[in-house]
Amino acid sequence: MASRPFRDVVRDRFWLRAFIFLICIPSGGAVLTEVYGVIPMHDVVWFGAVPAYLILFGIWALNRKGPLLEISDAIAIGAVGGFLGVVAYDLARIPFVVAGYRIFAQNSSYGLWILDADYSTRFSLVAGWIFHFANGTLFGVMYSIFMRGRHWGWAIVWAFLLETIALFSPYGNIYHITASALLMVVAYYGHVAYALPLGFMTQRWDASARWLREVSPVYKVIALVALFASIVGPMIAPGSIAADARAEKGVFVVEGDRLTPSWQRLRQVGPVTVRNSCERDVVILLAGEPALSLPRCEEGVLPLPAPGIHLIALPAEGLRTRSSFIMVEPVSAAP
């Protein structure tokens, strides 16, 4: 029977389910420990989240047959549902990216913290996106481990709870989400998209478990190759390699209609150098306001007022998606 009384699901191997739920928390909580200034995200990810990923994989692999099959199914259904949820979440927000909003900027900042880097590179970009998907995957496991057969609407409640926790923590302020009603609407809208694959797979438990067990090995190989290519591709792209070779700590360079690299991270409040190319005179915008005028072939210093994340860009109509960012530590002290 696909659905059982909730109390029976809770009682059945409760401590193992609780253990699985708890070891997923470091992945979801890594960003919060950083923005609250409690523990660096770097430490939480490498010493908490990564071991949790391995432990979950081990529990799933060792229990695909026998009395703990339902636990293994819960991990698989939650992981696949969560992963597909992240795909839906990102696809749902693409129209806002096209409209010029830096909806995916947070993912790049995660990579800086995970790798403890001073500026963004192709490696920090990939690390941030891997964490983004891994995080959504584990949120799916946290849901499925207790919610077998529940109506898909509960997944929306779960997704909204997660987003509410983020927005009403320093996260919402640091990333300037709570300052914009539109961005808050987009955040919750995206989480509806995240919840639907997870909710439907968990509700249709038996069908989902059977599909995951019977899926053709060919499709599994295709999925693994696609995943591998999405990770390795950006790291071996000639343009990305060349851009990383030009990048310098604490220096933005005007290249065409944008600044590179995408992120600079300062360990404390201080100046950032902006180097202009020899194409034209430019004006540098900080938080949308003119902050520095640079003649061609010149460089200048851009002082920053406080810890936090600051948007820096060149004035260009409709090119907000080409802005860069300055992260001034500690972000937990951002006003």
Amino acid 106 reads Q
Q: What is the mean pLDDT of the chain?
A: 91
What pLDDT, on a 0 to 100 scale, did the predictor assign at position 2?
A: 47
pLDDT band at 20 (very low <50, low <70, confident <90, very high): very high
pLDDT, tens digit (0-9, with 9 covering 90-100), for 107-125: 999 999 999 999 999 999 9
What pLDDT, on a 0 to 100 scale, did the predictor assign at position 270?
A: 86
Q: Which residue has the higher pLDDT, 206 or 10?
A: 206
Which residues, 6 or more positions from 300, have their beta carbon under 8 angstroms from its beta carbon? 273, 274, 276, 284, 292, 293, 294
- Counting residues of the chain whose pLDDT is more than 90, the rounded percentage is 73
* Three-state DSSP class for residue 36: coil
Amino acid 193 reads A
pLDDT, tens digit (0-9, with 9 covering 90-100), for 168-201: 999 999 999 998 899 999 999 999 999 999 999 9
Q: How much is the pTM?
A: 0.91
Average pLDDT over residues 126-144: 96
pLDDT, tens digit (0-9, with 9 covering 90-100), for 31-56: 999 999 999 999 999 999 999 999 99
Whether 106 has a pLDDT exceeding 50, the answer reads yes
* Inter-residue contact 139 to 163 (CB < 8 Å): no
Domain 248-333 annotated CATH 2.60.40.420: yes
Where exactly are the structural domains of the chain? 6-214, 248-333
pLDDT band at 257 (very low <50, low <70, confident <90, very high): confident
What pLDDT, on a 0 to 100 scale, did the predictor assign at position 9?
A: 53
Average pLDDT over residues 73-95: 96
pLDDT, tens digit (0-9, with 9 covering 90-100), for 258-283: 899 999 999 988 889 999 988 889 99
Whether 1 has a pLDDT exceeding 50, the answer reads no
CA 282 to centroid of chain Cα atoms: 32
Whether 232 has a pLDDT exceeding 90, the answer reads yes
Task: Record the tokens describing residue 292, joined without a space.
Answer: 């520095």
CA distances in angstroms from 164 to 197, 272, 307, 311, listed in the order given: 20, 34, 24, 24
Which residues, 6 or more positions from 221, have their beta carbon under 8 angstroms from its beta carbon? none
Strand spans (E) along the chain: 251-255, 258-260, 263-266, 271-275, 282-286, 289-294, 299-303, 308-313, 324-328
What pLDDT, on a 0 to 100 scale, did the predictor assign at position 317?
A: 56
What pLDDT, on a 0 to 100 scale, did the predictor assign at position 12?
A: 66
